[in-house]
Amino acid sequence: MTRAIIVFAGTAAAATLSIDHMDSIPALLVIAPGYVVQAWLFERHHALGGLGYRLTMAGVSALFWTLLLLGIAVGCKHLVARFSNRQES
């Protein structure tokens, strides 16, 4: 649980910084999941403005990247455990 909080805090910080630097490709990739959700909200006529716009973009992006990174870490852990068990047998 602690690792998830640390990863979420790091991705939230990266997403928050990326909002002001969307003219660079790495920043745009970090903030893209939040941008997609905000665009969907705009199409549904539920778009948020001002602070809500920034919170939606940073929060959704941080959640997306946290789940992706933790999912990859868990998958790698299981893969390593599977191969180490196979070699012992």
Q: Are 34 and 61 in contact (CB under 8 A)?
A: yes
Cβ-based neighbours of 30, under 8 Å, separated by 6 or more: 11, 14, 15, 18, 61, 65
- What's the pTM value of the predicted model, to 2 decimals? 0.84
- For 4-42, write each residue's pLDDT tens digit: 999 999 999 999 999 999 889 999 999 999 999 999 999
**What is the reported pLDDT for 88?**
64
Confidence of residue 89 (pLDDT cuts 50, 70, 90): low
Q: What is the maximum span of the chain, computed from C-alpha positions, in angstroms?
A: 59
The residue range of the domain holding 55 is 2-88
Q: At residue 86, does pLDDT exceed 80?
A: no
What average pLDDT is seen over the chain? 90
For the chain, how many structural domains are there in total?
1
Structure tokens at 11: 């991705």
Mean pLDDT along residues 64-68:
96
- How far, in Å, are 8, 22, 65, 68, 81 from residue 1 at the CA level? 11, 31, 16, 15, 21
